[in-house]
């Protein structure tokens, strides 16, 4: 074989087998996006358990010819595509994450103050405003519903709803949801200050009443029964959430609680983050303006959800002037647990160092989880 033939073979191998000649500017830009999310999670500790694997998934999938999200010559899914298809598209991973979240959740603040349910419902305002807004941008009903749920600040619910209604938006919706969840301490304080006055911020709330063990055991059973009857479409998500909480409160299955809230949840979180990040390929991201619309309206969504919770708290005070609610905790109706509750605590302490709002804010925070899931179930029932 001549040297020219050998050179031709080597040249063709470089052209067909390496990614160097297939690289384009969109992929380089997505590398920067992936590294940015890794930086937010690893360096700034903003939702690191999800932003780190999502960022790494975005980064690694945007190398040319990498066998991650396609199919083999035999038609089998490639590496990340396996987790995405069986875990996310089949809506398994979000449900398992909710099972783990249930084992980590204490509903005592919500049980002690049922008014928080109204605040959690009011905090879904941004979901419906964004739903209408995305329709005006030419989104379909399914795409608008999947995008609107971002403002509920509940990552697994966003993934669950988007995979059911608009799976082609799953990557950008999930990235937007988790990104803005990480930015809750930046987004919410200006909204709180704009919508409350000094007198309202200084309201001191009575201590929450004690909640009995029987109430805590019965709550998940009653809650899942009501939700399954009224919103059947979201029963898998909320059913596992309440099952995890029931296991926690009954005290008879500690090993299962430790597994569901620990190792199992950590495993599926890794697969969820990587597979979602891997959907953010440059070839699909830059072919439409919809990702930019989602990212832009996501901020509007969060602002109006925060405002909806605050306005609902103020409305409750007008209707029931006794035992007033500090409207700062209305912001916690955005279900970024427990981050938005901590924001309420920090904002309250700025105006009165002795006004501790954290436990009061956890009620609307948990109610927001239920409210977001209810909104998702309604959308699935209407548009699936």
The H or E element spanning position 37 is helix 25-42
Number of H helices, E strands in the chain: 21, 0
Paired residues of 71 in beta bridges: 77
Q: Which of 21-25, 85-89, 125-129, 336-340 has the highest mean pLDDT?
A: 125-129
With cut-offs at 50, 70 and 90, classify the pLDDT of residue 75. low
What's 198-264 look like in SS3?
Answer: HHHHCCCCCCCCCCCHHHHHHHHHHHHHHHHHHCHHHHHHHHHHHHHHHHHHHCCCHHHHHHHHCHH
Tell me what pLDDT residue 13 has. Answer: 61
Domain boundaries, the chain: 79-383
The average confidence (pLDDT) of the chain is: 90
Radius of gyration of the chain (CA): 23
Convert the pLDDT of each residue in 183-209 to its tens digit. 899 999 999 999 999 999 999 998 999
With cut-offs at 50, 70 and 90, classify the pLDDT of residue 320. confident
Using a pLDDT cut of 90, give the percent of the chain over it. 67
Sign of CA dihedral 290, 295, 300, 304: positive
- How far, in Å, are 33, 66, 77, 281 from residue 70 at the CA level? 21, 9, 6, 11
Q: First vs last Cα of the chain: how many Å apart?
A: 62
Does residue 9 have a pLDDT over 70? no
Tell me what pLDDT residue 273 has. Answer: 92
- How far, in Å, are 68, 77, 155, 177 from residue 167 at the CA level? 18, 17, 15, 15
Nearest alpha-carbon partner for 377 in 111, 164, 171: 164
Nearest-angstrom CA–CA distance, 174 and 269: 13
**pTM for this model (two decimals):** 0.90
Name the burial class of residue 15, with classes exposed (0-12), middle (13-18) and buried (19+) by CB atoms within 10 angstroms of its CB.
exposed
């Amino acid at each position: 074989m001549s040297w020219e033939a050998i050179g031709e073979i080597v040249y063709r191998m470089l052209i067909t087998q390496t990614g160097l000649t297939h690289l384009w500017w969109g992929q380089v830009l997505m590398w920067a996006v992936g590294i940015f999310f890794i930086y937010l999670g690893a360096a700034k500790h903003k939702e690191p358990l999800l932003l780190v694997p999502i960022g790494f998934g975005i980064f690694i999938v945007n190398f040319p010819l990498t066998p991650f999200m396609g199919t083999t010559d035999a038609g089998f899914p490639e590496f990340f595509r396996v987790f995405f298809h069986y875990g996310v598209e089949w809506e398994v991973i979000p449900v398992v994450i909710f099972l783990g979240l249930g084992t980590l959740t204490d509903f005592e603040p919500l049980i002690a103050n049922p008014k928080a349910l109204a605040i959690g419902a009011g905090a879904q305002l941004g979901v419906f405003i964004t739903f209408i807004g995305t329709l005006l941008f030419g989104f379909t009903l399914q795409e608008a519903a999947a995008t609107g749920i971002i403002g509920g600040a509940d990552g697994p619910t966003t993934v669950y709803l988007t995979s059911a209604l608009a799976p082609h938006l799953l990557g950008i919706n999930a990235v937007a949801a988790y990104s803005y969840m990480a930015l809750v301490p930046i987004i919410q304080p200006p909204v709180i200050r704009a919508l409350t006055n000094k007198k309202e911020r200084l309201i001191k709330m009575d201590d929450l009443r004690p909640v009995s063990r029987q109430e805590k055991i019965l709550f998940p059973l009653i809650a899942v029964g009501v939700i399954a009857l009224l919103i059947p479409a979201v029963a898998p998500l909320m059913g596992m959430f309440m099952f995890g909480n029931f296991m926690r409160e009954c005290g008879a299955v500690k090993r299962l609680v430790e597994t569901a809230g620990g190792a199992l949840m950590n495993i599926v979180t890794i697969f969820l983050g990587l597979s979602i990040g891997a959907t953010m390929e440059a070839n699909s991201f830059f072919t439409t303006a919809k990702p930019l619309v989602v990212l832009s309206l996501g901020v509007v969504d969060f602002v109006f959800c925060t405002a909806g919770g605050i306005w609902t708290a103020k409305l409750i005070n007008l209707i029931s002037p006794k035992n007033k609610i500090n409207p700062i905790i209305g912001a916690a109706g955005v279900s970024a647990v427990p981050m938005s509750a901590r924001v309420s605590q920090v904002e309250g302490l700025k105006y009165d160092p002795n006004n501790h709002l954290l436990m009061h804010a956890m009620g609307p925070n948990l109610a927001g989880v239920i409210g977001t899931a209810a909104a998702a179930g309604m959308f699935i029932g209407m548009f699936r």
